[in-house]
Amino acid sequence: MCIILPVFLVFSIATAYAANECEDGDLAKCEKEIDKYEDRYESTSKKLSDIKSKQESVTSKIASLAGQLSVTDAEINDISANIADVLSELSKIETILLDKNAALADKFSLRTKIVKTYYQKGVLNDFEVFFASKVPANLNGFQFTSASNAYQKAYANETLKIIDYLNSEISSYEEDKATAQSIKANLENEKANLLALKDNLANQKNQASAEHSELEDQKGDYEKELSSLQSKIDRLSTLQKKIIAEKFGEETGTVGQYDSVSVDVPSAPFKPAFGAFSYGAYTHYNGMSQFGAKGRAQAGHDYKKIIKHYYGNDVKDKDDFPSKVSVEGYGEMDFQKYLYGLAEMPSDWPEDALKAQAIAGRTYAYRFVKKGKAICTTQSCQVFSKSKSDNPPSSWKKAVDDTKDKIIDGDVTAQYSSTAGGYLNDSGWDDDGEWPKDSYERKAGSPWFRWSWFSKGFAMLKDTCGRGYPWMSSEEMADIINAWVVWKASGGNDSQISPITTSCWGGNPYSMSELRDKADKVGKVYKSVSDIDVDIGNNGKTTKVYLKTDRGDLTIDGAEFQTVFNLRAPSYVAIRSRLYDFEVKK
């Protein structure tokens, strides 16, 4: 019986497979024919896995390059080659999968036939077996029943194993086929992304080249414009140069010398009224803003971060620091004691602002000593107070002591000033988000962050030359434009363009009517202004002034407008910063 069962089983399977038209209906021969593809197919899953890794690498590299502007043609060609290699491998795998598909077609039919035969064959019930008419002569009814049961059990187990094997192989094929198709689709997409990236980079390169060329042209135009403007200023009369110097605020000042309480701009006594508001004043725009340092310290920045922002360098210890410094009027004195006397920042300001000031002051003095000269005690160097040096406030003394021998690294001269209006040459915009509302100087409460100047110097409400407000009337603004027309026509060489308030300036200025007549002869004459606006550039300067006049819209260069405004505006009304705007009260 153990010998009979395999014969029955093989016969049954061969019978079931005969309909598949394999050669001679021989299952073993059919299996051998089908399995001739197996050696080629065995590594397909591994190849697909390797290709997926390559695809992920390509995708990652493209994503990385997408964030760059300096991708080379070599890098793009390298990725293109990688994609081509992967697509080539996929093509080979697809060929193998097609072969496998052909082989599996036979196996799929075999599986279907086995299942059909198995479930159609059925099993004899006990009555049919007991009374069977064709029982083998050497077996009685009970022996045949036992043999039949054993046969049915073996047949079922072997058939299910074959079905499970065929199902597994068909399923594996379908999974590999889906994976290959997915990889191919993804790679085609990445190839499209790469081409788009290449085109985008080419466009960016062309755009950058065009912008560079345009900027070069603009640079040349600006240089010519500035040269022309400077030539015109150079031709001003002695009186006009004095007016420009005082109104523009060419001197520099620090908060220690000029700190004062904030006051409100006086209300306009008429309407419409035009007020020019300057951002910062008396500054060289270099190094540290003292009010900016205060605002940053209030925001939680430590002194090292403050120094780093304004000077672009870190703080370092100096081991060969000189012990003495020569101070004008006082001779040599201990370096630390000299620093105790710096009257450059109020002692009640935040600790880290004081430390930043101490390091900036020490660095400035150190660089000055290297020149072999005595350091002055005014704002031309650093404001020094002997009485403060002898009895320094505890907070300032602590800031100096805690930063002993610390200076700013590099070769910076460590310049600083009170208020720059939110923009400095070395560090750009000085804000915590958006200028002007988030400017650190504004947050720190600088009285000069944005101010409409109408008095001489930092004493805001003193020495106003008889004009207690900064506001200009429509007619006065038109007078400024007429002055600009005449000034341009004369090449900056008309000495009668000066304030009509001669009580504080002297001179022989044009009257308003005389200036209108002069403007009418050399160009256009303007009688009224109804509105004004400005453009502010990324360089921290007012670049254009836009005016609505009785003669239509007019645009004037920001630097030119400031020069003529300061030459002609009455009393001490002035624009004292390269960064300014206007308010209009209607």
Q: Cα torsion for 369, 370, 372, 378, to the nearest 10°?
A: -40
Whether 562 is covered by a domain: the verdict is: yes
Q: Is 536 helix (H, G, I), strand (E, B) or coil?
A: strand
| DSSP-assigned states of every residue in 216-275 | HHHHHHHHHHHHHHHHHHHTS-HHHHHHHHHHHT-S---HHHH-----PPPPPSSSSEEE
Whether 233 is covered by a domain: the verdict is: no
CB 183 within 8 A of CB 52: yes
Query: Residue 459: what pLDDT?
Result: 65
| 167 burial level (CB within 10 Å; 0-12, 13-18, 19+) | middle
- List the one residue out of 311, 309, 337, 310 whose CA is nearest residue 323: 337
Whether 56 is covered by a domain: the verdict is: yes
Kindly give, in sequence order, each residue whose CB lies less than 8 Å from that of residue 501, ignoring residues fewer than 6 positions away.
Answer: 465, 466, 467, 570, 571
Which tokens is 162 given?
């074959």
Q: Kindly state whether residues 339 and 482 are assigned to the same domain.
A: no
Q: Kindly state whether residues 434 and 545 are assigned to the same domain.
A: no
Query: Residue 580: what pLDDT?
Result: 97
Sign of the CA dihedral running 569, 573, 578, 579: negative
Whether 225 is covered by a domain: the verdict is: no
Q: Kindly state whether residues 474 and 508 are assigned to the same domain.
A: yes
Q: Kindly state whether residues 435 and 470 are assigned to the same domain.
A: no
Q: What is the rounded distance in angstroms from the CA atom of residue 132 to the CA atom of residue 135?
A: 6
CB atoms within 10 A of CB 2: 7
CB 317 within 8 A of CB 359: no
Looking at the 3D structure of the chain, how many domains does it have?
Answer: 3
Whether 231 is covered by a domain: the verdict is: no
Q: What is the rounded distance in angstroms from the CA atom of residue 531 to the CA atom of residue 474?
A: 9
Whether 221 is covered by a domain: the verdict is: no
Query: Residue 384: what pLDDT?
Result: 93
Query: Residue 411: what pLDDT?
Result: 87
Q: Kindly state whether residues 189 and 57 are assigned to the same domain.
A: yes
**CA gyration radius for the chain?**
46
Q: Cα torsion for 504, 484, 566, 558, to the nearest 10°?
A: 180
Q: Kindly state whether residues 572 and 544 are assigned to the same domain.
A: yes
Per-residue pLDDT of the chain (586 residues), as tens digits, is 333 333 333 333 333 333 333 444 444 544 444 454 444 444 455 555 566 666 666 666 666 655 554 556 666 677 667 777 766 776 777 676 666 666 666 666 665 666 565 555 544 444 444 444 444 555 455 555 555 565 555 555 655 666 566 566 666 666 776 777 777 777 677 767 767 766 776 676 666 566 556 655 555 655 566 666 667 667 777 888 788 777 766 556 666 655 455 678 999 999 999 999 999 877 889 999 999 999 999 999 999 999 999 999 999 998 888 888 999 999 999 999 999 999 999 999 999 999 999 999 999 999 888 888 889 998 888 999 999 999 999 999 999 999 999 999 998 889 999 999 999 998 999 999 999 999 999 999 998 899 999 988 766 667 889 899 999 999 999 999 999 999 999 988 899 999 999 988 888 999 999 999 999 999 999 999 999 999 999 999 999 999 999 999 999 999 999 999 999 999 999 999 999 999 999 9
Q: Kindly state whether residues 108 and 8 are assigned to the same domain.
A: yes
Which tokens is 232 given?
């015109």
Q: Kindly state whether residues 458 and 545 are assigned to the same domain.
A: yes
Whether 191 is covered by a domain: the verdict is: yes
**Which of 404, 423, 443 represents a domain boundary (last residue)?**
443
Q: Kindly state whether residues 267 and 179 are assigned to the same domain.
A: no
Q: Kindly state whether residues 365 and 465 are assigned to the same domain.
A: no
Q: Kindly state whether residues 69 and 143 are assigned to the same domain.
A: yes
| Structural domain for 166, as ranges | 4-215
DSSP H helices, 122-254, are: 126-130, 141-234, 238-248
Whether 223 is covered by a domain: the verdict is: no
Strand 324-327 relative to strand 331-334, pairing: antiparallel
Residue whose structure tokens are 């060329």: 213
Query: Residue 41: what pLDDT?
Result: 47
**Global confidence as pTM:** 0.62
**Which of 399, 426, 443 represents a domain boundary (last residue)?**
443
Q: What is the rounded distance in angstroms from the CA atom of residue 244 to the CA atom of residue 240?
A: 6
**Which of 397, 424, 443 represents a domain boundary (last residue)?**
443
Q: Kindly state whether residues 500 and 455 are assigned to the same domain.
A: yes
| DSSP-assigned states of every residue in 11-32 | HHHHHHHGGGT-GGG-HHHHHH
